[in-house]
Chains A and B, each alone.
Chain A
């Protein structure tokens, strides 16, 4: 039987961590773009559109991510599309993060004092001008910290993609353990790698939040 050194374990995990990072990045970008689209659509203040988006957010925030992954993965094959685990994971995590991003950004827009809108109205600014020059710049500044903070949730969420067979960090850990039978050591390495990805993000979020606090 082949012998695994600690370095072998770590090296294989590091290789798998690439997929965790790539999946997180795609989900962050896809979710960010889609969440932005939702936020723009919602700012048109159409009752029907707002209701639909509210429903969308409720659904994706109210169902465990694991179920969303299952439903995407098996749902596609039900309607005749064979999607691989990779595609299903990207789609699923994108939808999931778009709902949260949208909610974060909407919250930031609504957190601005009503007086900002009123000042713009009395100065004769149109709705779009108010948004572009007054509301969005302030809301964006406010949203940076929670947005980065949520990216930690995305990274951790990618671990669930292992259940549909996508080989990322968690799945790789399981597979390696099946070969070496040293669960504590293997999963300690896995945990350490997640921590090394997430901790800098948490630090960044905290730093940005503090900076934002001082700026106000």
Chain B
């Protein structure tokens, strides 16, 4: 059984048919980049995998749990699926440490000392052990995004969804975030990345999914996709972003 499995998923925003029958399977340990034009449904697809958006037809199964519109089920699902956002979405009134510990205390019911230990380990892992007591507002974008990654990892998810997590960063800060992702890949974490960084998609992604007109238009191993695109649409997309 694949870790993530989408079966003919259809999603509408009112009359806007955004996902038109998406089939996609992602195995544990895979790093998959999702690329495509603006408005092709990349974010929507990602958000259907953790229940932030409801779909109208088809099925989504993640870590053997069906993703449905049900508060309780979605809360259970949140232990399997982490998400990092373009805009970080850190809690500005809490310190970095509190951000990372909030859900481990409230949701995983870990003791304060256990939570603290875990938070320290994770912050060290993302290179921010000295920022435990800092407030997000005093950190650079790259640092904030690394805190957000640590906060997601604290729930020990099986798969991490990343929606353009470097797009809001100054170019010189992109590298430090990508480095963390590479490190996670090396540890065997399953990553699904919506990205505009074609270089990163090629170098780090095992597989690329090209979304077009609400469908998985073309998919394949990263080097294959970039060296040898099959469809006209992907060729013109790659030509445009290069």
Binding site for B on A (CB under 8 A): 113, 115-116, 118-119, 121-127, 129, 133-134, 137-138, 141, 215-216
Contact = CB atoms under 8 A, between A and B. Distances in A.
Interface of B: 50-52, 71, 74-76, 78-79, 81-83, 85, 87-93, 102-103, 106-107, 137, 151-152, 155
A122 B79 contact: no
B168 to A, nearest CB: 11
A124 B75 contact: yes
B107 A138 contact: no
A119 B52 contact: no
Given A133-B106, A138-B92, A141-B93, A121 B78 contact: yes
A119 B91 contact: yes
A169 to B, nearest CB: 40
B90 to A, nearest CB: 8
A126 B75 contact: yes
Nearest to A129: B106
A121 B137 CA distance: 22
Chain A interface SS verdict (over half):
helix
Contacts of B93: 137-138, 141
Given A119-B85, A121-B74, 20 more contacts: A115-B87, A115-B89, A118-B85, A119-B89, A119-B90, A119-B151, A123-B151, A124-B76, A124-B103, A124-B107, A124-B155, A125-B102, A125-B107, A126-B75, A127-B71, A133-B102, A138-B93, A141-B93, A215-B137, A216-B92
A123 B85 contact: no
A108 to B, nearest CB: 13
Contacts of B85: 115, 118-119
Contact of A216 (B88, B107, B137): B137
B87 A122 contact: no
A118 B51 CA distance: 10
11 contacts: A115-B89, A116-B89, A118-B85, A121-B51, A124-B103, A125-B102, A126-B75, A127-B71, A129-B106, A133-B106, A138-B91
Contacts of A127: 71
Given A133-B106, A216-B137, A122 B78 contact: yes
B78 A123 contact: yes
A125 B106 contact: yes
B160 to A, nearest CB: 10
Contacts of A215: 137
A112 to B, nearest CB: 10
A136 to B, nearest CB: 10
A212 to B, nearest CB: 11
Given A129-B106, A133-B106, A122 B83 contact: yes
Nearest to B161: A122
A65 to B, nearest CB: 35
A213 to B, nearest CB: 12
A122 B83 CA distance: 6
A141 B75 CA distance: 28
Contacts of A123: 78, 102-103, 107, 151-152, 155
A124 B78 contact: yes
Contacts of A124: 75-76, 78-79, 103, 107, 155
A122 B137 contact: no
A141 B74 CA distance: 30
B221 to A, nearest CB: 29
B137 A113 contact: no
A124 to B, nearest CB: 3
